[in-house]
Amino acid sequence: MEFKKILEEKSEESWKIYIPNLSIDCVVFGYNDATLKVLVTKIKNQKLIGLPGGYVLKTENLFDAAKRILFERTGAENIYLQQFKVFGDLNRSEDFFKNFDDNIWNKQRFISVGHYALVDYTKVNLVIDDISDACEWKSITELSEFMMDHKIIFDEALQTLQKQLNHKPIGYNLLPEKFTMPELQKLYEIILEKKLNRGNFYRKILRYDILEKLYESRKGGAHKAPDLYKFDLIKYQLALKNGFNEGW
| Near a second copy by CB under 8 A: residue from 192, 206, 225, 233 | 192
Q: Is 215 in the site for a second copy (CB under 8 A)?
A: no
Least distance to a second copy, CB of residue 46, Å: 26
Give 154's contacts (C-beta < 8 A, 6+ positions apart): 27, 38, 51, 143, 146
Among 4, 10, 44, 109, binds a second copy (CB under 8 A): 109
Task: Kindly tell me which residue out of 204, 226, 230, 235 binds a second copy, with binding defined by CB under 8 A.
Answer: 204
- Which residue in 9, 13, 88, 177 binds a second copy (CB under 8 A)? 88
Nearest approach in angstroms of CB 204 to a second copy is: 8
The answer to the question of residue 196 lying near a second copy (CB under 8 A) is: yes
208 binds a second copy (CB under 8 A): no
Judged by CB under 8 A, does residue 207 bind a second copy? no
Q: Examine residue 90 and tell whether it contacts a second copy (CB under 8 A).
A: yes
Given 5, 34, 61, 217, the residue binding a second copy (CB under 8 A): 61
Single residue of 45, 59, 99, 125 touching a second copy by CB under 8 A: 59
Could you list the residues that contact a second copy (CB under 8 A)?
19-22, 56, 58-63, 65, 83, 85-90, 109, 111, 113, 163, 165-167, 188, 192, 196, 201, 204, 243, 246-248
